[in-house]
Amino acid sequence: MKGTAINKKDFNEKVRPQDDFFEYSNGGWIKRTKIPAVESRWGTFYIVRDRNRKRVQGLIEENAKKRAKKVSDEQKMRDLYLLNLDTKRRNKEGVAPLQEYLTKINKIEYIETLLSAITELHRIGIDVPWAIYIDQDDKDSDKLVLRFHQSGLGMPSRDYYLKKDKESVRVKNAYKKHIVSVHRLLGQSPQEAGNNMNIIMEMESAIARVSMTNVELRDIPAQYNKKTIAELSRLVSAVDIKKYLKEMGIPVLRSVIVDQPEFMSGVNKLISTRPLNDWRVYLTWHLVNGYAGALSDKFVKENFNFYTTVILGVKKMRSQKERAAIAVGSGLGELVGKIYISKYFPNKAKQEVNKLIDNITIAYKKRIKNLDWMSDATKKKALNKLDTVVRKVGFPDTWKSHKSLLIDQKLSYAKNLMAIEKFYWKREVHKLGRPVDKKEWHMTPQTVNAYYSFATNSINFPAGILQPPFFDIDGDSAVNYGAMGAIIGHELSHGFDDMGSQFDGNGNRKNWWTKKDKQKFD
């Protein structure tokens, strides 16, 4: 496929570019293009993602036809794919794969057993009512820290619970119906399902009220609240936080970072004041809702109807084979990435993209040097930051091992997804106390996307995005600079935007601006 610079059919030349450049340059394409029924939106990124999805599906289907050595990467991908496809078995099992956890939730009789149930859910990726994750210390990027973050909602944003606009009310009402429908699938009567829905909405609305808004979450200094374990224990005094950390496999720590202390304080109050039955209802809901996509067809359809149709506007569900391939790509992304790279990404492409980055960096340096409002002292720091940017192009230099991960066809599809969650969490915990690997990848090679990381001062371009129309190894340089060059420049600029400008070249949140320059920039 050759990358082309301009297709005149995409234009609407009836409109003058000086009046409406967007309509002038895209009007023709918009007029003749329909959003596919399985998509929520459509554009260049989505077209390339769809192409890659088909490529990945082909690789996974081809792998599934082959015999594979036990515990090999190929066996893991094949068996997870086949388990997803076995809807007859999943329909027969119903919610049985969740029974172990449902039983633990039903046995909550006091705070200690509530905490134990929360811990068990966290291990399998159900992050309620809070979440924990491991990340670099904003002020010491060579160290990894454990962070606590707000979570616990079933809708995508706190605004759906608290706002009264037409869209929020529409989604909230649909969510209530979704909760009732799932409980009816669990065998509950209409009255019982309705009562449980009311409890869940009360719980989640209370959590929403103590959650930060999306705008507030952009305030990086406000998210940095280092606490000793003793201070954390006082913040969430209703539970034995030391026991929680131990059961999550966390080694003894001197401190953690609490991203939103007021949220944790609010959750602590809920634990202290809400009846334990409310917590049983709430945790049961999040367990079933979280794994609905791995259960029977009825649960899968109900989950799709709310999260994909109501929230995103998608009209049609993908085929079972398509969904199975997407699930394997999500759960075993790096294993899929290995076979993707071997077939679709020549090493020469990596070299050519690095040349683009070289030249765009040179141009960026010239622009910084020519700024008339920035002092020489700040320019020096900015140029140093640009010089230390880490590049991740195509795929990792070293692939992570999945040797200890077992995908077992004797177990249900949902149980295997739980095993994957436990595997990844254990691998994350293993990083604590070890040097930060700033070359580690956090995006799979086949992903059609790119990003800049403040903590590692790195730009990341997976192989998935390095294809036409963004990049063509045999294409004209003008096309590559106009398309991929724009993406490279965009990601580099994040190192100097309202958030990236707060971090230095080593990834530490540290002011490197003179006072006057910072005032002008802000």
Write out the H or E segment, with its range, that includes residue 452: strand 451-453
Residue 145 β-bridge partners: 135
Domains and CATH numbers, the chain: 8-90+333-339 (no CATH), 95-294 (1.10.1380.10), 346-397+439-521 (3.40.390.10)
So what's the pLDDT on residue 146? 98
Q: Give the residue from 291, 294, 293 showing the smallest Cα distance to 283.
A: 291
So what's the pLDDT on residue 4? 56
So what's the pLDDT on residue 3? 46
Q: E strands of 255-397, at which residues?
A: 255-258, 390-394
Contact 64, 82 (CB under 8 A): yes
Only one residue has tokens 């992570």, namely 400
So what's the pLDDT on residue 148? 99
So what's the pLDDT on residue 6? 78
Q: Give the residue from 223, 221, 300 showing the smallest Cα distance to 260.
A: 223
So what's the pLDDT on residue 5? 62
So what's the pLDDT on residue 354? 97
| pLDDT tens string 332-366 | 999 999 999 999 999 899 999 999 999 999 999 99
| pLDDT tens string 256-294 | 999 999 999 999 999 999 999 999 999 999 999 999 999
| pLDDT tens string 62-109 | 999 999 898 999 999 999 999 999 999 999 999 999 999 999 999 999
Q: E strands of 342-405, at which residues?
A: 390-394
Give the helix ranges, DSSP H, for 124-240: 159-162, 166-185, 190-209, 229-235
So what's the pLDDT on residue 103? 98
Q: Is 379 helix (H, G, I), strand (E, B) or coil?
A: helix
Mean pLDDT throughout 443-463? 97
| pLDDT tens string 385-403 | 999 999 999 999 999 999 9
Average pLDDT of the chain is 97
| pLDDT tens string 126-169 | 999 999 999 999 999 999 999 999 999 999 999 999 999 999 99
User: Which 8-state DSSP code applies to residue 503?
Assistant: B
So what's the pLDDT on residue 7? 87
Query: Percent of the chain at pLDDT above 70?
Result: 99
Rounded CA separation 248/124 (Å): 11
Using pLDDT thresholds of 50, 70 and 90, give the confidence band for residue 433: confident
Query: Percent of the chain at pLDDT above 90?
Result: 96
So what's the pLDDT on residue 1? 44
- Classify strands 255-258 and 226-228 as parallel, antiparallel or unpaired: antiparallel
Only one residue has tokens 């491991």, namely 134
User: Which 8-state DSSP code applies to residue 509?
Assistant: B
